[in-house]
């Protein structure tokens, strides 16, 4: 008799129970008319329930209502904005003096520190004075001889004069003595001139600064033979004031000339934007405009003067010259971060009164620091999204947190190295409702 395990008996029992249904299941799954309509019906019912849950604002997993995303909005208000025009300029010293020697000789001493500030009359170079000192002594000796000769001739004239009156000597002898005395006196003057010239040459061996300013590197070394008038020894640059030259287009010049005729008494201070982006503490003024327009570039050269008491400006610096071109009134400002760029089209997200997101296409103009002037596409009191733009889509409902409009100041002033500006020296003030816009023109 065979022994049957409990597992085998259990399997045999399950097989007996399922046997009556085996044919029915086989016929059900083998018929496409039976299985596919049922599967499609079940799938459509599940998808419909999912869409219903999403449209009702519920989560398909939890069944709870979804919370609209939180965004930060600001209501736009009109502002009056001074539009600044910028040009690229370069600083230039008002006075630049090249140091040359007026006498020839061996360089004996360099008496200044390169790159330092020198004062007018300060000793810079010393050329060997011995040859010129010897010439001076020789000229002085010749002068002494001529003076003695002239004194002797004058003594003879004084002796001959009374004798001639007494008819002891002829008038011809007196006249000859007077002529000799005058000739000797002229030779004294010539000798004196030679002494003065020799003394000047001795003085020229000590070269001093002709003006105050910053001196550059020495172009010569001790022991070099210095040629009179040809050897460049160094250069001195004036410090304050400082010139800034730039060029404007002829069309811009005509606009500024027209405004100047209309407002002859109004001053237009010029601001200087340094290479690090900060605004120079002291405004400048235009002191020269070229009399002609360049035929090659079509631009007009302008020169402005800026105070430079702290010596921050150096000759040769590149900077941006900025001044008011016009005042734009009742304009709307949008932060750069709120503007969406897509294939050359600019747009912003606007939250309506129903808290639904709308996408508006806009056109912009000049830049106000980190904001753009909106030319079209927005109206006052429109609420634009300034934070959270990445979380929204057009038509979506959001929770709007409104914040005041952040208007940047017109300029930032760097006073670290140039001294603290006084109210009259600082840049033109800009109130919270009057920021400064700018357009840049690189020439």
**DSSP-assigned states of every residue in 227-263:** PTTT-EEEEEE--SSEEEEEEEEHHHHHHHHHHHHH-
Q: Residue 344: which pLDDT band, with cuts at 50, 70 and 90? A: confident
Mean pLDDT of 320-336: 86
| CA–CA distance, 149 with 182 (Å, rounded to integer) | 11
Q: Between the CA of residue 322 and those of 61, 172, 269, 326, what are the distances in Å?
A: 60, 86, 9, 12
- Predicted local confidence at residue 98, as pLDDT: 96
Of 38-42, 62-66, 173-177, least confident by mean pLDDT is 38-42
385 vs 414, residue with greater confidence: 385
Q: Which residues of 103-115 are buried (b: 16+ CB within 10 A; e: fewer)?
A: bbbebbebebeee
DSSP state of 226: E
DSSP 8-state assignment for residue 61: T
Greater confidence (84 vs 170) lies with: 170
* Residue of 213, 52, 251, 32 whose CA lies nearest to 117: 213
Q: Which residue has the tokens 């400064």?
A: 436
pLDDT in tens, 156-206: 989 888 888 888 888 898 889 899 999 999 999 999 999 999 999 999 999
Q: From CA 333, how far away is CA 336, in angstroms rounded?
A: 9
The CATH class of the 101-128+207-237 domain is mainly beta
The answer, yes or no, to whether residue 334 has pLDDT greater than 60, is yes
How confident is the model at residue 257, as a pLDDT?
A: 84
Burial class (CB in 10 A: 0-12, 13-18, 19+), 380: exposed
Indicate if the pLDDT at residue 11 is higher than 70: no
Provide CATH 1.10.287.470 ranges for the chain. 129-204
For residues 25 and 21, what is the distance between their CA atoms, to the nearest angstrom?
Answer: 6
**Domain 129-204, CATH 1.10.287.470 — does that match?**
yes
Q: What is the pLDDT of residue 63?
A: 54
What stretch(es) of the chain map to CATH 2.40.50.100?
101-128+207-237
R_g over Cα of the chain:
48
Q: Give pLDDT tens digits for 283-320.
A: 999 989 999 999 899 999 999 999 999 899 999 999 99
Q: Long-range contacts made by residues 232-235, C-beta under 8 angstroms, separation at least 24?
A: 232/98, 232/99, 232/100, 233/99, 233/100, 233/101, 233/124, 233/125, 233/207, 234/98, 234/99, 234/114, 234/124, 235/96, 235/97, 235/98, 235/99
Are residues 246 and 88 in contact, defined by beta-carbon separation less than 8 angstroms? Answer: yes
The average confidence (pLDDT) of the chain is 81
| The predicted structure's pLDDT at residue 9 | 57
Q: For residues 90 and 96, what is the distance between their CA atoms, to the nearest angstrom?
A: 15
pLDDT one-digit tens code per residue, 238-272: 999 999 999 999 888 888 888 788 877 777 789 99
- In whole angstroms, give the CA distance from residue 7 to residue 182: 160
Tell me how far apart the terminal alpha carbons of the chain are, to the nearest angstrom.
113
Residues of the chain within CATH 2.40.420.20 domain(s) are 242-441
Could you say which architecture CATH assigns to the domain 242-441?
A: Beta Barrel (2.40)
């Amino acid at each position: 008799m065979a022994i049957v395990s409990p597992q085998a008996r259990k399997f045999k029992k399950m097989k007996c129970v399922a046997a009556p249904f085996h044919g029915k299941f086989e016929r059900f799954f083998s018929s496409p008319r039976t299985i596919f309509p049922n599967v499609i019906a079940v799938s459509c019912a599940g998808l419909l329930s999912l869409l219903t849950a999403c449209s009702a604002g519920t989560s398909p997993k939890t069944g709870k209502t979804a919370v609209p995303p939180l965004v930060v909005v600001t209501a736009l208000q009109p502002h009056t904005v001074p539009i600044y025009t910028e040009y690229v300029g370069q600083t230039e010293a008002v006075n630049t003096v090249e140091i040359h020697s007026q006498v020839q000789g061996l360089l004996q001493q360099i008496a200044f520190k390169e790159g330092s500030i020198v004062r007018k009359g300060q000793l810079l170079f010393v050329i060997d004075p011995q040859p010129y000192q010897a010439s001076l002594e020789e000229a002085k000796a010749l002068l002494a001889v001529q003076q003695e000769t002239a004194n002797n001739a004058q003594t003879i004239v004084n002796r001959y004069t009374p004798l001639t009156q007494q008819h002891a000597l002829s008038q011809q002898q007196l006249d000859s003595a007077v002529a000799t005395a005058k000739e000797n006196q002229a030779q004294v003057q010539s000798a004196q001139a030679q002494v003065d010239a020799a003394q000047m040459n001795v003085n020229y061996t000590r070269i001093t600064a002709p003006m105050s300013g910053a001196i550059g590197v020495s172009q010569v070394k001790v022991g070099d033979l210095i040629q009179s008038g040809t050897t460049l020894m160094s250069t001195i640059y004036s410090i304050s004031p400082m010139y800034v030259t730039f060029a404007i287009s002829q069309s811009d010049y005509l606009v500024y000339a027209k405004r100047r005729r209309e407002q002859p008494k109004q001053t237009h201070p010029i601001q200087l934007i340094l290479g690090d982006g900060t605004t120079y503490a002291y405004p400048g003024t235009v002191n020269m405009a070229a009399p002609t327009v360049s035929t090659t570039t079509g631009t007009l050269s302008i020169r402005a003067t800026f105070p430079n008491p702290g010596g921050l400006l150096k000759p040769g610096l590149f900077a941006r010259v900025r001044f008011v071109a016009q005042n734009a009134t009742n304009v709307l400002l949008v932060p750069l971060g709120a503007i969406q760029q897509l294939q050359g089209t600019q747009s912003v997200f606007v939250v309506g009164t129903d808290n639904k997101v709308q996408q508006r296409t806009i056109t912009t103009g000049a830049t106000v620091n980190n904001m753009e002037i909106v030319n079209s596409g927005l109206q006052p009191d429109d609420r634009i999204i300034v934070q959270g733009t990445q979380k929204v889509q057009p038509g979506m409902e959001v929770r709007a947190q409104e914040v005041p409009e952040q208007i940047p100041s017109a300029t930032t002033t760097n006073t670290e190295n140039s001294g603290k500006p006084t109210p009259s020296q600082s840049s033109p003030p800009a109130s919270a409702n009057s920021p400064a816009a700018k357009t840049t023109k690189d020439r």
